[in-house]
Chains A and B, each alone.
Chain A
Amino acid sequence: MRTTTIGFSILLAALWATAPRARVLAQHETASDLLDGERAFKQNCANCHGPDGDQIQGIDLGRGHFRRPMTDADLVGIIRNGIPNTAMPASAAMTVAQAQQIVAYLRSRAATSAVASVTGDAARGRAIVTGKGECTSCHRVDGSGSRVGPDLSSIGAQRQAAELQRALIDPNADVQPQNRFYRVTLKDGSTVEGRLLGHDTFNLQMLDTKEQLRSFNKSDIRSGTFLPSPMPSYRSTLTPQELADVVTYLSSLRNR
C-alpha cells in the first residue's frame, strides 16, 4: 500500500515539473481535441520547438518542462500573445479554443510519458545511487558527486521513467549527443578522455575525467574518436526492485 501510494504520488509529481494552478481543458478534452491540438502544434509550433517540443534550450514542451511555472491559462496566453522581445511570436489569428487544444495535446503527452513511471521507493533509490550503485562517482546530484557524467539534479523533469530505466539497463542505447564520451590522441602520443562539450572545424572542448575543462586546437590532435558510454549496465547488478527504487528516486529529482 505504501509503495502504491508513493508510486501514485510520483505519478502525480511526474505529471508536471511545476504544479499547475489551473487547468483549462484537463478534464474536458476529447480525443478529437487532442488530435486537433497535435495537428495545430505540428503546424504552428514544431518549426521552432521541434517535433517533440524540445528543440529550444531549457524548454521541453512534451514533458511539461518550461522556463517558469505555467498554468494552462498561462500557456494559452503565450501561444496567442507570444512573449515580447523574444523569438516567441504572437498568434493573433489563433482562437482560444485552438490554443487550448495545443495545451491539451502537450499535457496529454507529458501525462503519457509519466504513466511509464514504475512504483518504487525513492529513499531506497537514493541510498543505492549514493552507495551500492556508485552513481555519484560520475554523476552529480544537488551539488554532490562528480561532474564527468550528466548532472542528475533535475533528471526527473528531463527524462521519462522508461528512459531512465533503459539508461540503467542499457546505457549505450540512447546517449544524448551532449553526453557522449570522446578520446583525443595528441600528436605527442598522449590521450585525453572525457565528455565532449563541443567541437568545430578548428577546436575541440571537453570535460576530462579529472573534471578539468580542456580545449584543444585540432592541429595538435592526431586522432579523435567517440567512446562507448563509461556507464555500466545495472541489469545484473541491481534487482528489479532496486532498479525501480532508483528510477523512482531519479524521477523525483526536479530541482531546476
Chain B
Amino acid sequence: MRTRLTVAAALFAAASLTAQTRGVTFDRILHGDREPQNWLSYSGTLMNQRYSGLTQITPANVKNLQLAWIWQAKSLEKFEATPLVVDGVMYTVEAPNNIVALDAATGRPFWTFAYTPAPEGRPCCGKVNRGVSILGDTLYMETIDAHLLAVDAKSGQKIWDTVVAKAAERYSMTASPLIIRDKVIVGVGGGDAPIRGSIAAFDAKTGKELWRFYTIPGPGEPGNETWTGESWKTGGVGVWNAGAYDPETNLVYFGTGNPAPDWDGSTRLGDNLYSDSVLALDPDTGTLKWHYQFTPHDELDYDSTQVPVLADIQVNGRPRKVMLWANRNGVMYCLDRVTGEFITGKPFVKVNWMDGFDAKGRPHRVKFPTKEGTLIYPHVHGGTNWAPPSFSPKTNLFYVASWENSATTAIEGQFPKAASANNRQTAMGQTNLVPFFNNDDEPFGVVRAFDPATLEKKWEFRMDDITWGGTFVTATDIVFSGGREGYFLALDGKTGQLLWKAPVGGQINAGAMSYAVNGKQYVAIAAGNSLFAYALP
C-alpha cells in the first residue's frame, strides 16, 4: 500500500514537473478537465461549464470543510475575479488591475504586478476585473482603461502593453481574455456610454492586433440598417464578459451588451444589431458565422454579456451540441451552437416584457416603456447579470443564481425605477454586508437547477437577499454559490438541500472554483475584499 502511494506520488510529481516545464499550452487549456487539480481558464474549460472533476469533497463530508487560508486584497472595489491555479500557483486580480501570484496551498504571495490605470478608465459599475488568462508562462489581463497586458507568470514582470481602445472615449475592459491557440481574444466594453463595442484578437507573443469585429455594423455592412441615422456610431454594445470556444466548430462565442442610450430607444429605432446577442466568430479571422439576438431593440438595459455555457446533451432523444444561456432579460435559452438555431426558450424568473417566440426564436414583445411608467419584469439589473452559471454533465443540470420578482417601472428616457416601497431592492453589488429589509413580496435571490433540454426547473434554494454571485459544481454533485448576504453555500446538486455554509463577512460577487495541491482539494471564493480557500481537515 505504501509502495503504491509512493509510486503514485512520484508519478504525480513527475507529471507536475513536466507540466511546469512546458508551461500552459493551448492543448492543456482546451482539455482543462484532464487535470482537475488545475483551473486553467475563467470557467475551468473553454466550454465554461465551471465544473470540477475533483472528488475529495463530497456531500457526506462537505460539512467538515475548514478555512485553509484568507488572502486580503488592498482594494475597496468589488472582488469579481475567479482565480487560475497552475501547478500549485494561484493567479488572481486585486481590483482594479494588480495581478497577484499566491501559493495555492497557503495563500502566501509570490509576487504582485502593480498596474495603475489611467484616471479616464471608468467603467459604469465599478473598477473591477474578473480574472487573468494564461498561455505558456504568460498571463494576460484586460484593464479598466482598455489596455491588454502580458505579464510573465514566474516573475510578475510586464512583457507587453497594448492599447485596445481609448479610455478617454469611455472604453473599458473587465473580463478574463479568451485564449485560442496563439491569440488572445478580448471584448471591449463601456456600452452604457456612447461607444461602439468590438471584439478583437491579439498575437499572444507580441500584442499586435490581428483582427477586430465591431459589434455594430458600419455603413454597407449587413445590420447597419437596424440603426437609425448616425446612432450606430455611438450605439454601445460593449462586450464585457468571458467568451467560450468549441474546437469542433472552431467558433468562439461572445455575448454582447445593451444598445446605448440604455433605456431610451427613440434615437436608435430598429433592432440595433448586434446588441443583446450572442455572436459566433471564426477565431482565425474574426468573421461572423452566426448570431442570435435575445432582445431586439432593447430599452431595458438587458445586456447579454452572460458567460456562454456549452454542453452536449440529449434533446428530444437525439444528441445536440447546445449553448445554454440564462439571460439578464429573464429568459433562459437553449441554442444549437453549430448553427445558432433557436431550440427552446423559457422564462426562468418572472417575465412580462415578452409572451413567447416566433418560429425562429424572435421574442414577441408585449411591454414597452412609457412616460407614464410600465411595470416590467425583470428589473433593469435582470433575472441574472454577469455572474457565471455552471453545468454538470453528471447531473445533467444547469445551475443559475438569479433574482426573482424584480420589477421595473420603466419610464421612457429615464432610469427604470423599481416598483414597491423598497426601490433599492436590487442595488448593485458592493463589498461589505448591508442591511436587507425586503418583505416576501419583494425581490429575493435564488439558486435554481434546470433541465438543459426542457429548461424545466428541478429545484431551488431561496435566499433572502439578491445575489451577484455565480455557481460552481463538482463531480460529487455539490453546487457552491452565495450572494450579497455573505454566506458561502454548498448545496446538494441533485436536490438543492443546504449541506454547509460559511459566513465570509462580505458580499460574494464572483464564481467559486476548485483545485488541488499535493493531493488536497480546495474550494476558493472571493468575497468582500478577500479570497477564501476551504479544504477538509
Name which of A8-16, A40-48, A98-106, A248-256 contacts chain B: A40-48
Query: Given contacts A87-B126, A89-B127, is CB(A198)–CB(B119) below 8 Å?
Result: no
Residue of B nearest to A88 (CB): B122
Determine which of A51, A57, A178, A196 lies in contact with B417 in the assembled complex, contact meaning CB atoms within 8 Å. A51
The verdict on A180 contacting chain B, using a C-beta distance below 8 Å, is yes
A134 to chain B, nearest CB (A): 26
Q: Is the CB of B119 within 8 A of A92?
A: yes
**A residues 57-94 with Cβ under 8 Å of B?**
57, 82, 85-87, 89-93
Query: Given contacts A200-B464, A201-B464, is CB(A55)–CB(B169) below 8 Å?
Result: no
Residue of A nearest to B122 (CB): A89
CA distance A92 to B465 in the complex (A): 36
CA distance A48 to B77 in the complex (A): 14
Most B Cβ at <10 Å: residue of A82, A177, A196: A177
CA distance A87 to B400 in the complex (A): 28
Chain A facing B: main interface SS: loop
CA distance A177 to B464 in the complex (A): 14
Name which of B132-140, B430-438, B472-480, B519-527 contacts chain A: B430-438
- Chain A residues within an 8 Å CB radius of B170: 93
B192 to chain A, nearest CB (A): 6
Residue of A nearest to B263 (CB): A42
Determine which of A57, A90, A91, A199 lies in contact with B464 in the assembled complex, contact meaning CB atoms within 8 Å. A199
The verdict on A131 contacting chain B, using a C-beta distance below 8 Å, is no
- Chain A residues within an 8 Å CB radius of B434: 57, 198
Q: Is the CB of A201 within 8 A of B261?
A: no
Q: Is the CB of B76 within 8 A of A85?
A: yes
B240 to chain A, nearest CB (A): 14
**Cross-chain pair count, CB within 8 angstroms:** 86
**A residues 106-123 with Cβ under 8 Å of B?**
none
Q: Is the CB of A87 within 8 A of B127?
A: yes
Query: Given contacts A85-B76, A92-B168, is CB(A180)–CB(B424) below 8 Å?
Result: no
- Chain B residues within an 8 Å CB radius of A197: 435
CA distance A58 to B438 in the complex (A): 20
Q: Is the CB of A177 within 8 A of B437?
A: yes
Q: Is the CB of B119 within 8 A of A201?
A: no
Query: Given contacts A48-B428, A90-B120, A174-B421, is CB(A201)–CB(B463) below 8 Å?
Result: yes
Interface positions of B (Cβ within 8 A of A): 76-77, 119-120, 122-127, 168-170, 192, 261, 413-417, 421-424, 427-428, 434-439, 462-465, 485-487, 501
Sort A-B residue pairs by CB-CB distance and give the 5 closest, nearest first: A89-B122, A198-B435, A51-B415, A177-B437, A200-B485
5 additional A-B residue pairs with CB within 8 Å, beyond A196-B437, A201-B487: A50-B423, A90-B122, A175-B421, A177-B424, A180-B439
Interface pairs (25), CB distance under 8 Å: A39-B413, A42-B414, A47-B125, A47-B192, A48-B125, A48-B428, A50-B415, A51-B415, A55-B427, A86-B76, A87-B126, A89-B127, A92-B168, A93-B168, A93-B169, A177-B438, A178-B435, A178-B437, A200-B436, A200-B464, A200-B465, A201-B463, A201-B465, A201-B487, A202-B487
